[in-house]
Structure 1
Amino acid sequence: MSGWQSANIRRTVQVLALGSLLLSGCRGTVTGTAPVKPEASPGEGGPADISMMLVLYTKETPSELLQLELERMTDTRLALSWVPDTVYTDKLMSGFAAGTLPKVVQVKAVDLKKPTVVNGIRSGLFWEIGPYLESYPNLSKRMNKTIMDNGAYFGRYYGLYWELPMSRQGIQFRKDWLARLKLAEPRTVDDLYEVLKAFTYGDPDGNGKQDTYGLVDRNDLVYGAFKNIAAYMGAPNNWGWSEGRLTPDFMTPAYRSAMDFMKKLYDEKLMNPDFTITSKVQQEERFAAGEAGMMITNLLASNANDKLRKGNPEAEVDILNRIKGPNGEHVWGGTGLGGLYLFPKSAVKTEEELKRVLRFFDQLLEEDVNNLITYGLEGRHYVKAEGNAAKVKPETKELREREVQDYNTALRTFNIRYLSQGSVNSLQRKINTMIEDNQTIAVADPAAGLISATQAEKGDELRSIITDATYNYMLGVLDGRGFDRELARWRAVGGDRIIQEINQAYAEDHTIEGKPADTAHNP
């Protein structure tokens, strides 16, 4: 029985439990219920049944407390299948093959151009939603057209996006280790290497043992260390300009420099040797356990700092976003979307069903519903403060992480807040400032939103050639000539056609005369 099929079995008991919780005066009591709104007009047959497959970024499935309140607010019955991030793509592709997708599926940004997804769109497996959007006031008013265009297929809208900042990339590091070793924050690529070396061999935790790594990394060439380091080295973001045409990043000298840097860290044991099989959750756990002094990933360090200080109150995590490479300071930039919610016709069988699902997403942008999935239940997870702010009390922070965080991640579509975030600590203020600063140094992908027919047909096969070759180079399995052979194989089995098709697609909307304006930050 699937997650979205089994979720309703427990509903009667859960509704009673929710009522008991909201009325009780037990520990962690609710001093007030969530904001009450007029009940949504019920559709024919009562509340709408909506099944969803959602990415789970934490170790445990969240409590259904918020789900029940969300159902009440939106007049729905939600069947939510939470799938761990580490296996989400495989589960999604299996659902495609078996025809068992629910009414709403999240497709992460890294999967949007996978052949299975592109071919599913092309063959009509998903609803085109563009013609319906103007009927939904919140969606049409709040929608960012540029981000929607970045998520379009063949010039049409098939999905609603969930929004991410253009770049959250950066470095989380042990500030207390730097202080103990009397080192300054790294400002250049060379500085970065020296700090990682000191974090490995300089006994930064002061226990008299050589039991730390400079860097703990994970099996992800995009959101792990590698793509960040490639940006420092001056690599383009997926595609860049070379001799007047778009060229893949892995065909540039800067990409090779990033591989050399990672290989040096691996050879000198400055990073965890099992990084190719380390998951995101494991990476964060090992950093929090004090096994390494740095993660080159993103700037969202609040949770890491909190977890680390539970075991070591003297520990402190800090962040930085600017590392100077051969061509200045750069980070790689995204498209503004974390992915898309798509609506399979196999599950959403009629236009009326689609309209009800879209109405649910429109409701997510209403003030009371948005406050719920952003902050939780007023009185239980936060209190209202002066200046129309939501204040998360320290004693409810962990409760909010268990009961609210996953809904916030999975269901907050457009980046709006009706209540400002109160009680922002100095680290969070620094995070916000650096994310904003990243916009000034972010390298854009000039081919974002472009579709190549060959990539749609053979993308997984071709991408695996480059992914495997990149890892094998860093591990010392391949040398430079071996990597060149794999690159030649990629070109021979379809890569050259992808380059040609991407350039043709770009030329349909742009005139290539000199250096295009949207490559202003490209080295």
Structure 2
Amino acid sequence: MKKAIPVLLMMVMLVGVVLAGCGDNSPSSSGKPSGQAERGDSSKDSNASKEPVEITVMLSGPGVPDLDKNPIWQQLSNDLNMDMELNVIASEYDQQLNVKMAGGTPPDLFNIGKVPLTEMGRQGLLLDLEPYLDDMPNVKALYDENLLNKGRVDGTLYALPKRADIPMDSLWIRKDWLERLDLEMPTNLETFKEVALAFTNEDPDGNGKADTYGITGTALYTFAPIFGAYGTGGPGSYAIKGGELVYTTEDPAFREALSYIADLIAAGVVDPEIMANKGTDDQQKAFQGKAGILFRGWGELVKDSYVEQYKSINPDAEWVQVGALEGPGDNYMSVWDLGRTPNRLAIPKSLEKSPEKLEQVLELLNYVTGDGKGQNIVNYGIEGTHYKVENGEVVPLPAMSDLDYSWQMQLTARDELAYLSVKFANQKPYIAFAQEQPRLEVYDSFIPVPQGVVADDKTTYETEEITKFIYGRRPLGDYDQFIETLYKQFQLQLYLDSAEDTLTELGYLQ
């Protein structure tokens, strides 16, 4: 797994998954980061007569406005006395990064996915950031070991992960249907099934037609709260129970959950198209009154525009959140991947030879992190133009809506709860509810794919066979045989060995 490959070959073969994400820290009208003077305000003021330091930043995702139309970019450049060339690549990002790295012209700061992070780190192309944490006090104060672990390869900190977002999904139900049928809010698996049956069979919309289902959703994600009630996660996750590594697909609790789900499907309470639903198909079915229960993020149900949408179809419709269901295993709403991060930032090792540039990159990262002006700029824009501060709280101004690209400028992300509470004030109760739900911790994003296997093949097989089990096309009595196939044909033991080694190295397993 740790064997190096030639640089040029690696650059051709490298494939990375690069995700973009978004967040904020507590706002401050004074604009001073906690515990120190702002490096961008004070340390640069004395050098204002110097020429700006030129740095290049390369990010993945949708484009951002040019400098003359990007007040965030302008303000950062002014505050830090730098000339930042910002390149945001919408497609084929990994290929373009590979070309620059192989050609000896890497950006000074860039996004990097998990796979290229591993390969480039082992090839010696990336700077070890550990010795530079003291030069970024805001970063050092906010980044604990769990967060830093997301940027490590073989124990070396080759990337600065974006701070993670917060859980946003939860179970939702049509409250007006409950009231019409004189039903209580479900709290456990038994009452959940009763409600699903009633929503399917008792004409909850009162139109005299048998045209509703209890539950809709998208693929096996539909059943996350049910797996959680059995104390396990969906297929293919790595959890730690009683100090031991557990692969959820072979967890006995997972098999029990499949039996319960199979009963729901056999009873006809589940939208028969869940495995085909994509994007917002399930959301639209819910809005159209075709189902009364689904598992979704608050942002796809109760943003103002969505409420207007479903109210226009049925003014009496009311979607509300349901707490995690009690079950024989526990009452988790879903899983939460401790290794997840919206993205990672890396610095090429070659930048060591340009100390002025390196200092500027470190100062930029420090400035946009923490409680202070730099974080407020990338989150909310310019004070007085895009937001104002009242009683220590950020209040959006109309111009903030012009900054829909601001998440791209949030290099180290943000304090998600504080940020979302500003951006979506009407949704604060839903945001808090989702965040507070219990989640089973898993470690999926930490685990590297073993060499010599194709992860997609295993995932496809698991999904296909589990679908057969829940739809009755394969008896649950064959489950041991299914697990045996995972080991023999899809080399599951290699994945487990990789997980064991990685989680031990990072300190999660003893």
User: Do they superpose with TM above 0.5?
Assistant: yes
Letter in 2 for 1:292: A
Deviation at 1:187, TM superposition (A): 0.2
Deviation at 1:74, TM superposition (A): 1.8
Runs (5+) with no aligned partner, structure 2: 1-30, 33-39, 78-83
Paired residue for 1:498, among 487, 495, 499? Answer: 495
Deviation at 1:374, TM superposition (A): 3.0
Give 1:25's aligned residue: none
Contact (CA 8 Å) 2:421, 2:427: kept in 1 or not? Answer: no
Deviation at 1:288, TM superposition (A): 4.1
Give 1:364's aligned residue: 368
Q: How does 1:233-382 map to 2 (within 5 A)?
A: 233-235=230-232, 238-240=237-239, 245-298=244-297, 303-304=302-303, 306-312=305-311, 313-331=315-333, 332-335=335-338, 337-343=340-346, 345=348, 356-365=360-369, 367-376=372-381, 378=383, 382=387
Contact (CA 8 Å) 1:455, 1:498: kept in 2 or not? Answer: no
Residue 60 (structure 2) pairs with residue 53 (structure 1): yes
Deviation at 1:348, TM superposition (A): 8.0
Contact (CA 8 Å) 1:200, 1:212: kept in 2 or not? Answer: yes
Letter in 2 for 1:251: E
Change (3 A) 1:140 1:226: same
Change (3 A) 1:453 1:338: closer
Letter in 2 for 1:104: F
Contact (CA 8 Å) 1:375, 1:404: kept in 2 or not? Answer: no
Deviation at 1:425, TM superposition (A): 6.0
Deviation at 1:254, TM superposition (A): 1.6
Change (3 A) 1:207 1:126: farther
Change (3 A) 1:346 1:46: closer
Deviation at 1:450, TM superposition (A): 5.8
Query: Does the residue aligned with 1:250 lie in a helix, a strand or coil?
Result: helix
Give 2:111's aligned residue: 105
Q: Describe the superposition over 1:279-317 as per-residue Cα deviations: whole angstroms up to 9, x where unpaired.
A: 344444444444432322445566456413344144322
Letter in 1 for 2:204: P
Q: Describe the superposition over 1:7-49 as per-residue Cα deviations: whole angstroms up to 9, x where unpaired.
A: xxxxxxxxxxxxxxxxxxxxxxxxxxx99x8689799676533
Give 1:15's aligned residue: none
Letter in 2 for 1:468: E
Contact (CA 8 Å) 2:378, 2:410: kept in 1 or not? Answer: no
Q: Say how many residue pairs are matched.
A: 449
Contact (CA 8 Å) 2:160, 2:346: kept in 1 or not? Answer: no
Fraction of identical pairs, as percent: 18
Change (3 A) 1:444 1:96: same
Distance 1:166 1:389 in 2: 21
Letter in 2 for 1:340: N
Deviation at 1:323, TM superposition (A): 0.9
Distance 2:319 2:55 in 1: 45
Change (3 A) 1:472 1:67: farther
Which structure ranks higher in relative contact order (CA pairs < 8 Å, sequence separation ≥ 6)?
2
Deviation at 1:52, TM superposition (A): 0.6
Change (3 A) 1:93 1:426: closer
Distance 1:204 1:430 in 2: 25
Residue 245 (structure 2) pairs with residue 231 (structure 1): no
Letter in 2 for 1:341: R
Q: How does 1:76-475 map to 2 (within 5 A)?
A: 76-82=84-90, 104-105=110-111, 107=113, 112=114, 118-124=118-124, 126-164=126-164, 167-219=167-219, 221=220, 224-235=221-232, 238-240=237-239, 245-298=244-297, 303-304=302-303, 306-312=305-311, 313-331=315-333, 332-335=335-338, 337-343=340-346, 345=348, 356-365=360-369, 367-376=372-381, 378=383, 382-385=387-390, 387-392=391-396, 396=398, 403-404=403-404, 407=407, 411=411, 413-415=413-415, 421=421, 428-429=428-429, 431-433=431-433, 435-436=435-436, 438=437, 441-445=438-442, 451=447, 454=450, 458-475=454-471
Distance 1:409 1:162 in 2: 12
Contact (CA 8 Å) 2:58, 2:86: kept in 1 or not? Answer: yes
Distance 1:364 1:510 in 2: 30
Change (3 A) 1:476 1:204: same
Contact (CA 8 Å) 2:169, 2:434: kept in 1 or not? Answer: no
Give 2:35's aligned residue: none
Deviation at 1:485, TM superposition (A): 3.5
Contact (CA 8 Å) 1:180, 1:204: kept in 2 or not? Answer: yes
Change (3 A) 1:483 1:94: farther
Deviation at 1:418, TM superposition (A): 8.5
Runs (5+) with no aligned partner, structure 1: 1-33, 84-90, 517-523
Q: Which moved more, 1:73-82 or 1:414-423?
A: 414-423
Contact (CA 8 Å) 1:228, 1:297: kept in 2 or not? Answer: no
Give TM-score, length-normalised by structure 1: 0.69
Contact (CA 8 Å) 1:170, 1:299: kept in 2 or not? Answer: yes
